């Protein structure tokens, strides 16, 4: 059985426009993009600004602070998640503006524990020797 | 160019059977409903010169033995069929072809003649694959309602109101023999059904079935040559928003619903008060609430109470999802065709649970998880100035 099969969950594979994001995540840093023409901050990674189509973009390290924007709690586990159900699939509101999907770690995933707008901070899960996934935990 | 009164639906039918059909392939579900729709319109396949389908139109054309002059393979989830109607109306209005078959079939439950689904432990470099699948969603039940808790917090909408959507629609399907679920239920029944993906209990989630439906569309000036009551296309709209639900511009609104429905209302020239009947694609219980608000039938935060108070139930002022919807009637995965079929039946006056005096119906579709939208205004009223 390969490491991937043993892990059992879906594995992100970067494409050119997302490679830098995943490279920095691998170093346990969360980097996002800002348009130097219109100042729009965005995620997921692109080669063009989704507000003005400019390709003058800067990468910068996000603070890693955010809040719980919304979530669902999945009772029917996806492949690889059998030992974790029920588990939350959540959207975090980054301090810098963009939102991203995540799991919430470090706390039992119940409606009582997961209160919208609670403070979260980023953490990094090294799921395979060369694959790291950003996740969020209560701050 | 406006499409107002340029085209009409002159044939419409679902598959002979819907529900659980393990003996019928996905291709055959398209064909069965297509033949039924042609029979309904009183025409043979030799009169079809355009084909629209989410399935490769070559499969259907070759099966039926025709070489069409016009095709549309728009495939943006379950609203695609509303968009096909819009495109077909434009095609027949501009003379690209005369008579379009919009065909749909889906072996959503039995998966006969359908590509297999992937498992875990695999690489995925798509945007959903990189930024959502890695966190363990298992299909629409775990993604489509992602904004619901946010919506509830911002608007004061309650879980009871969410449950009341399922309760209201059973009041319709209770008198629809083809509906998979027709027993009346209470809010407590909804809460006592199995938890699927909080805040969705089972009864807040759509069915998973097999079935299909087809439409025959031609120009409005030819509509009276057919034996059916013409269902005129008065207004149309379409849009897309995002391939991944976490990147909706505002998770408490569908930007695609707003853009698409606004265009359809403007084109039709009718107001909300002129709508006698409404279909809002209900893969999950929040969609009719989002739909009522984003289409402008009610104000922000009023959709849940509007349904809970019975306004969309039998006898209410805005009958909605009168076949029971995806929650109770059928849902093979891409429900939009069934929403159109019910609107056509209501406008023709031949629905199982008929609303008295329906002239004009609004149909709102959604594709993917708030990825796409399509809107139609359909009427039996003859054109007049």
Question: Is there a domain that residue B335 lies in?
Answer: yes
pLDDT by residue for chain A (139 residues), tens digit each?
899 999 999 999 999 999 999 999 999 999 999 999 999 999 999 999 999 999 999 999 999 999 999 999 999 999 999 999 999 999 999 999 999 999 999 999 999 999 999 999 999 999 999 999 999 999 9
ipTM (interface pTM): 0.92
Is the CB of residue B365 less than 8 Å from the CB of residue B111? no
Q: Which residue from A minimizes the CA distance to B142? A: A74
Q: Which H helix or E strand runs over B149?
A: helix B148-155
| The pLDDT of residue B118 | 62
Of B115 and B309, which is predicted with more confidence?
A: B309
For an interface test with A, give the residue of B116, B117, B119, B120 to mutate (most A CBs within 10 A). B120
Around Cβ B357, how many Cβ atoms within 10 Å?
8
Nearest C-alpha neighbor of B368 from the set B212, B248, B284, B245: B245
B117 to chain A, minimum CA–CA distance in Å?
A: 12
Does residue B177 lie within any of the structural domains? no
- Asked if residues B136 and A89 have their Cβ atoms less than 8 Å apart, the reply is yes
pLDDT classification of B384: cutoffs 50, 70, 90 = confident
Strand order in the sheet with A57-61: A41-42, A31-35, A57-61
Measured over the CA atoms of residue B118, residue A17, residue B256 and residue B375, the dihedral's sign is negative
Bridge partners, residue B238, by sequence: B374
Note the maximum CA span of chain A. Answer: 49
- Secondary structure of B67-134 in HEC code, one letter for each residue: CCCEEECCCECECHHHHHHHHHHHHHHCCCCCEEEEEEEEECCCCCCCCCCCCCCCEECCHHHHHCHH
Q: Identify which of B244, B262, B247, B237 has the alpha carbon closest to the alpha carbon of residue B373.
A: B237
Mutation target to probe the B interface, by most B beta carbons within 10 A, among A69, A72, A83, A120 is A72
Would B147 be classed as within a structural domain? no
Question: Cβ of A10 and B133 within 8 Å?
Answer: yes
Residue-wise pLDDT for B10-68, tens only, equals 999 999 999 999 999 999 999 999 999 999 999 999 999 999 999 999 999 999 999 99
Tokens at B48, concatenated? 């079809």
Mean pLDDT of chain B: 96
**Which chain B positions have a beta carbon within 8 Å of A69's beta carbon?**
150, 251
pLDDT in tens, B226-270: 999 999 999 999 999 999 999 999 999 999 999 999 999 999 999
Pair of tokens at residue B260: 């698409």
Does B238 sit behind a cis peptide bond, omega within 30 degrees of 0 on the bond before it? Answer: no
Q: Which of A111-125, B110-124, B275-289, B290-304 has the lowest mean pLDDT?
A: B110-124
Q: Test A103 with B135 for CB contact under 8 angstroms.
A: yes
Facing residue for B121 by CB, picked from A7, A15, A100: A7
Residue B120, in any domain of the structure: no
Residues A39 and A6: their CA atoms lie apart, in Å, by: 43
Specify if B159 maps to a domain. Answer: no
User: Residue B49's Cα: distance from chain center in Å?
Assistant: 25
Position B174 confidence tier, pLDDT thresholds 50, 70, 90: very high
- Give residue B385's pLDDT: 59
* Cβ–Cβ below 8 Å for B120 and A77: no
Q: What is the CATH number of the domain that holds B249?
A: 3.40.47.10
Q: Where in the sequence is the domain holding A17, given as residue range(s)? A: 3-138
Mean pLDDT of B355-378: 98
For residue range A100-138, list pLDDT tens digits in order. Answer: 999 999 999 999 999 999 999 999 999 999 999 999 999
- Residue environment code for B68-85, b if the CB has 16+ CB neighbours within 10 A, otherwise e: bebbbebebbbbbbbbbb
pLDDT of residue A1: 84
Instruction: Determine the distance in angstroms separating the CA of A55 from the nearest CA of chain B, rounded to an integer.
Output: 19
Number of C-beta neighbours around residue B154 at 10 A: 16
Which of B123, B136, B143 has its CB closest to that of A77?
B136
Name the domain count of chain B.
1
User: Crossing angle for the helix pair B286-294 and B255-268, nearest 10 degrees?
Assistant: 50
Do residues A128 and B134 make contact, with C-beta atoms less than 8 angstroms apart? no
Any chain A CB within 8 A of the CB of B162? no
Question: CB-based contact (8 Å) between B120 and chain A?
Answer: yes
Residue that is written with structure tokens 């008198």 in the block: B175
pLDDT of residue B276: 98
Q: How many whole angstroms separate alpha carbon B188 and alpha carbon B106?
A: 32
Average pLDDT over residues B355-373: 98
Put simply, whether B249 touches A (Cβ < 8 Å) is no
Chain A CB contacts of B131 below 8 Å: 12, 44, 100-101
Range of the domain at B11: 7-112+207-379
- Among the residue ranges A25-39, B14-28, B112-126, B174-188, the one predicted with the least confidence is B112-126
pLDDT at B1: 79
| Domain count within chain A | 1
- pLDDT level of residue B117 (50, 70, 90 thresholds): low
Looking at residue B116, its pLDDT comes to 65
């Amino acid at each position: 059985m390969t490491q991937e099969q043993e892990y059992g969950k879906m594995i992100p594979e970067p494409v050119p426009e997302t490679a830098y994001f995943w490279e920095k995540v691998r170093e346990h840093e969360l980097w996002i993009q800002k348009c130097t023409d219109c100042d729009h901050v965005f995620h997921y990674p692109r080669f063009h600004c989704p507000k003005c189509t400019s390709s003058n973009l800067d990468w910068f390290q996000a603070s890693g602070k955010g809040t719980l924007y919304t979530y669902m709690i999945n009772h029917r586990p996806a492949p690889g998640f059998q030992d974790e159900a029920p588990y939350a699939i959540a959207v975090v509101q980054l301090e810098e503006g963009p939102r991203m999907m995540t799991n919430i770690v470090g706390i039992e995933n119940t409606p009582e524990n997961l209160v919208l707008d609670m403070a979260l901070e980023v953490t990094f899960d090294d799921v395979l020797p060369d694959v790291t996934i950003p996740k969020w935990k209560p701050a | 160019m406006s499409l107002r009164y340029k085209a009409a639906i002159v044939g419409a039918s679902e598959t002979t059977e819907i529900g659980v059909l393990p003996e019928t392939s996905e291709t055959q579900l398209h064909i069965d409903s297509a033949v039924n729709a042609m029979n309904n319109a009183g025409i043979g396949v030799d009169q079809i010169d355009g084909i629209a389908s989410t399935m490769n139109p070559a499969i259907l054309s070759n099966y039926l033995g025709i070489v069409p002059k016009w095709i549309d393979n728009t495939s943006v989830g379950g609203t695609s069929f509303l968009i096909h109607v819009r495109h077909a109306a434009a095609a027949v209005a501009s003379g690209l072809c005369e008579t379009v078959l919009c065909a749909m079939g889906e072996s959503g439950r039995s998966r006969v003649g359908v590509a297999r689904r992937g498992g875990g432990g695999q690489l995925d470099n798509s945007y959903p694959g990189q930024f959502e699948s890695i966190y363990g969603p298992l299909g629409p039940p775990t993604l489509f309602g992602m904004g619901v808790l946010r919506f509830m917090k911002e608007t004061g909408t309650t879980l009871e109101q969410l449950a009341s959507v399922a309760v209201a629609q059973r009041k319709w399907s209770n008198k629809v023999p083809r509906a998979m679920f027709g027993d009346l239920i209470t809010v407590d029944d909804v809460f006592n059904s199995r938890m699927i993906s909080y805040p969705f209990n089972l009864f807040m989630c759509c069915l998973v079935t097999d079935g299909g439906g087809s439409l025959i569309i031609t120009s409005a000036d030819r509509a009276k040559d057919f034996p059916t009551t013409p269902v005129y296309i008065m207004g149309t709209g379409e849009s897309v928003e995002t391939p991944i639900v976490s990147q909706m511009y505002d998770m408490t609104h569908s930007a695609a619903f707003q853009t698409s429905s606004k265009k359809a209302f403007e084109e039709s020239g009718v107001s909300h008060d002129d709508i006698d009947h409404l279909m809002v694609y209900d893969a999950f219980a929040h969609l009719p609430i989002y739909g009522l608000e984003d289409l402008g039938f009610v104000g922000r935060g009023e959709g849940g109470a509007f349904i809970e108070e019975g306004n969309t139930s039998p006898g209410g002022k805005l009958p909605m999802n009168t076949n029971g919807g995806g929650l109770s009637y059928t849902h093979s995965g891409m429900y939009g065709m069934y929403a159109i079929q019910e609107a056509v039946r209501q406008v023709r006056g031949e629905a199982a649970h008929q609303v008295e005096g329906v002239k004009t119906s609004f149909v709102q579709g959604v594709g993917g998880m708030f990825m796409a939208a399509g809107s139609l205004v359909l009427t039996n009223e003859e054109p007049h100035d």
